[in-house]
């Protein structure tokens, strides 16, 4: 319910500033998604339950900033909302895309125990039917949580019938590794995706996870 209220408020605010932003050359976009399981770096954030997610982004000549939110459930009865705030700069140099920025992960109900931030740098290269990407995130200690570094590499392929295939592998220091493989297809107003995601804990095999996640998302 909290996320639903936040989504409605965000949508109203975004609508009210669209016109003014366009006059100044700032582009505004918004997104909404419904997923069968919010999985982040291979680990469920909703105890294998569905999530409603959404955000708003501003962009001006490569500079961007945005907010994004989702319901979460960690099984401790303390936290029900994640709100991410991020900003950065993205562009292209000699045909290679780059993205550098910072993100804060905010959990309002238990801020001291859960909040953390990261600096990130990503590279990507696109060909006609194939793409590669890599990203490194440096954890920043905030409040009581000293977050670890994370890196991930990915690849995508355009298949027949406008279907895309994507795969990734990531390593979260002192936490574990994850990989995913999935299919996606874009329609006129929404995207559909389904992915298999596997997580292997570094020291506790009982915390390993396997998930199949279906998501429908909208951008406007």
pLDDT at 113: 77
- Asked if residues 102 and 130 have their Cβ atoms less than 8 Å apart, the reply is no
Question: Cβ distance 88 to 97 under 8 Å?
Answer: no
Contact status, residue 148 vs residue 139, Cβ threshold 8 Å: yes
pLDDT at residue 12, rounded to an integer: 54
Count structural domains, the chain: 1
Residues 6+ apart with CB under 8 A from 33: 52, 53, 54, 215, 216, 217, 218
List, for residues 110-133, the tens digit of each pLDDT value.
767 788 999 999 999 999 999 999
Query: What's 111's domain CATH number?
Result: 2.40.160.40
Please work out, in degrees rounded to the nearest 5, the angle formed at the alpha carbon of residue 69 by the alpha carbons of 63 and 72.
Answer: 145
Tell me the C-alpha to C-alpha distance, in Å, between residue 85 and each of 13, 49, 117, 129.
Answer: 16, 24, 9, 32
Q: Is the Cβ–Cβ distance between 218 and 33 less than 8 Å?
A: yes
Indicate the pTM of the whole model. Answer: 0.88
pLDDT in tens, 50-65: 999 999 999 999 999 9
Domain that holds residue 66: 2-219
126 Cα distance to chain centroid: 20
Instruction: Print pLDDT tens along the chain (220 aa).
Output: 554 554 555 555 555 555 566 666 899 999 999 999 999 999 999 999 999 999 999 999 999 999 999 999 988 777 789 999 999 999 999 999 999 999 999 988 776 778 899 999 999 999 999 999 999 999 997 766 778 999 999 999 999 999 999 999 999 999 999 999 999 999 988 999 999 999 999 999 999 999 999 999 999 8
């Amino acid at each position: 319910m909290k996320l639903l209220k936040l989504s409605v408020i965000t949508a109203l605010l975004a609508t009210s500033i669209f016109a003014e932003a366009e006059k100044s050359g700032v582009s505004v976009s918004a997104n909404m998604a419904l997923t069968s399981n919010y999985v982040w770096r291979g680990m469920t954030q909703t105890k294998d339950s569905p999530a409603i997610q959404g955000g708003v982004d501003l962009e001006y000549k490569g500079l961007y900033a945005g907010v994004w939110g989702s319901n979460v459930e960690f099984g401790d009865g303390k936290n029900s909302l994640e709100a991410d705030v991020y900003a950065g700069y993205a562009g292209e140099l000699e045909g290679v895309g780059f993205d550098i920025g910072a993100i804060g992960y905010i959990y309002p109900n238990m801020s001291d125990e859960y909040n953390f931030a990261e600096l990130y740098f990503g590279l990507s290269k696109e060909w006609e039917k194939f793409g590669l990407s890599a990203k490194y995130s440096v954890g920043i200690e905030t409040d009581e949580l000293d977050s670890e570094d994370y890196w991930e590499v990915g690849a995508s392929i355009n298949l027949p019938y406008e279907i895309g295939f994507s795969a990734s592998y990531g390593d979260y220091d002192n936490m574990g590794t994850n990989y995913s493989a999935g299919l996606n297809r874009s329609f006129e107003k929404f995207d559909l995706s389904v992915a298999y995601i596997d997580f292997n804990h570094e020291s506790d095999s009982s915390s390993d996870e396997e998930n199949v996640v279906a998501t429908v998302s909208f951008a406007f």
